[in-house]
Homo-oligomer: A and B are copies of this chain.
Amino acid sequence: MTLLERVRGFAIRHDLWRPPTLGIVALSGGSDSVALLLLLHEFATHGEVVLDAAAHLNHSIRGRDADEDEAFCGELCARLMVPFVASRIDVPAKASLERVSLEVAARRARHAFLEQVRESRAADFVATAHTEDDQAETVLLRIVRGAGTRGLAGILPRRRHLIRPLLACSRDELRAYLTSRDQTWREDETNQDVTNPRNRVRHDLLPYLARHFNPSVRASLARLAEVARGDEIAIGPLVEAASADIVRVSTEEVSLDAAALNALPEGLARRVIQNALTRIRPDRICNLRDVDLVLAVAKGGPTAAEFSGLRVERFDDSAVLVKRARNLRPRRRGAGTRVPRR
């Protein structure tokens, strides 16, 4: 099966586009995104999708190299007759203004730019060139940092308007595809600073695992992500149905019917609690320890627990979650009064 056929299969399986769908390609000039552009261009030639434009953001981080990247992308698009939209932003200035790392500032700027291009052109999606390698890094990083099975789903094939058609392709395959078509790309001065956890995973941990345990470890991790995502989809309707029975939301609090919660299989009970935590704190990703604390209180272990800005307390047949008001803390000891765990 050719790379083109595999990407097509992936797109069909995840319903990423259908004939009249209008798409934007995020193009950095690196091998992954150049391959993405060429592949989508091929699909467009076959009438499977409409390639509306390629969008390039110059981050003003790498000086002349960045300008050359932009010129390279512009020329490539001109040759393919794909409209080219470029913009420039001073990421270092943005980072120091927002007091975040260059990496975070760059990601935010990129997302905002891509979404703006998509909206202004009324396109249906922005395709980004995340590969199996990126997926493996994400999943592995989450595993070693302590994710639940939910986190293992990793980078999703689609999140709102963002699609990732190359999630099942390795970087090596993409480069082989480009080479076979005599297509060059810009070598990103890959960040080799291994004090950054993702770089350490990429340059150190994954090569070590491939050498000593499993040469296809990246593919195995990407596959695990897909299975975990499948499990999420399978279990989702169950969680929704149970949550509808068990979780009550008011303006002040979220309460859980303890008896009904305790009657559930524990895996399901955990998901219902995750749901409840998301209702009271939509902006945060659930921590498994928080979920366990709520479960312990619902089961009649400690009568109350406090964690990450929330308080959970057992009242009669309910476990009630409230946001913790600063002035309600009785005593402040260390980072806050906590009911000891375990």
Chain A positions within 8 Å of B, measured between CB atoms, are 1, 6, 9, 141, 143-149, 152, 197, 200, 205, 208-209, 212-214, 216-217, 219-221, 223-224, 227-238, 264-268, 270-271, 288, 340-342
Contacts and interface: CB of A to CB of B under 8 A. Distances in A.
Contacts of A270: 227, 230
A223 B143 CA distance: 11
14 contacts: A1-B340, A1-B342, A143-B224, A144-B209, A149-B149, A149-B228, A208-B208, A227-B267, A229-B267, A230-B266, A230-B267, A233-B266, A234-B265, A237-B265
Contacts of A213: 141, 144-145, 197, 200
A223 B235 CA distance: 19
A233 B237 CA distance: 16
B340 A224 contact: no
Query: What number of copies of this chain does the assembly contain?
Result: 2
A143 B200 CA distance: 18
B231 A235 contact: yes
B146 A220 contact: yes
Contacts of A141: 213
Considering residues A145, A220, A238, which has the most beta carbons from chain B within 10 angstroms of its beta carbon?
Answer: A220
Contact of A214 (B145, B209, B216): B145
A340 B1 CA distance: 8
Contacts of A148: 223-224, 227
A270 B229 CA distance: 12
Contacts of A223: 146, 148, 288
Nearest to A210: B144
A181 to B, nearest CB: 20
A220 B144 contact: yes
A219 B340 CA distance: 17
Given A1-B340, A6-B342, A230 B145 contact: no
A135 to B, nearest CB: 14
A96 to B, nearest CB: 28
Contacts of A237: 265
Contacts of A340: 1
A149 B227 contact: yes
Nearest to A236: B265
Nearest to A234: B267
A145 B238 CA distance: 30
A234 B239 CA distance: 10
B267 A232 contact: yes
A147 to B, nearest CB: 7
A149 B224 contact: yes
A313 B145 CA distance: 42
A68 B157 CA distance: 59
Considering residues A213, A214, A219, A232, which has the most beta carbons from chain B within 10 angstroms of its beta carbon?
Answer: A213
Contacts of A238: 234-235, 238
Contacts of A217: 144, 146
- Sorted from nearest, which 10 A-B pairs have the closest CB atoms? A230-B267, A146-B220, A234-B267, A234-B268, A231-B267, A233-B265, A148-B227, A144-B213, A230-B266, A234-B265
Contacts of A146: 214, 216-217, 219-220, 223-224
A339 to B, nearest CB: 11
